[in-house]
Amino acid sequence: MSAYRDKDPRIHGIQSRIRVVPNFPKSGIMFQDITTLLLDPKAFKDTVDLFVERYRGKNISVVAGIEARGFIFGPAIALEIGAKFVPLRKPKKLPGKVISEEYELEYGRDCLEMHLGAVEPGDRALVVDDLIATGGTLCAAMKLLERVGADVVECACVIELPDLKGREQLNGKPLYVLVESH
């Protein structure tokens, strides 16, 4: 499911504001930089609005944003749809008791942590990040949420790198993206 396939007229403005930085953070990676999108208030608002339009009225009780760029879009979406926001952070960034999930990246390994008690059994969760590449980060986020009894309704990303087949790693969980990058 994708906004670009729905031919929403706002998509071109969003896509044109995403800068591609070659060989960052290491050689061979074509980094999709959304900081340039954030510099354009209309494109930034259109990005948030497209997600809000999709999720308003879907009984989402928690929006889980993946560090760090999921923290940019997730809270705005959560506020607009009346859900709580839960940050999924890198190791040793959250005080108190946490649960963790390790995962593979397209260029290494990492780990996500979440506060115990932030999400409750039966919460309907939306996972938000800026990009899906191999799918490892989204899978780790879904595992964290499901381990505490949440129902992950969907994952939402601004950008998909379809050549890396991350969508296929989500075990059939719906993924909504605004733009594709090849």
The structural domains of the chain, with segments of one domain joined by +, span 58-180
Catalytic residue among 17, 69, 89, 167: 69
Tens digit of each residue's pLDDT (9 = 90 or more) over 68-80: 999 999 999 999 9
Is 101 an active-site residue? no
* Residue 41 neighbours by CB under 8 Å, 6+ apart: none
CA–CA separation, 150 vs 158, rounded Å? Answer: 23
- pTM for the whole thing? 0.95
Tens digit of each residue's pLDDT (9 = 90 or more) over 141-164: 999 999 999 999 999 999 999 999
Is 106 an active-site residue? yes
Catalytic residue among 106, 124, 146, 180: 106
Its CATH architecture, for the domain 58-180, is 3-Layer(aba) Sandwich (3.40)
- φ, ψ dihedrals at 105, nearest 5°: -105, 170
How do 98-105 and 175-180 pair as beta strands?
A: unpaired
Helix 41-55 vs helix 70-81: crossing angle, to nearest 10: 50
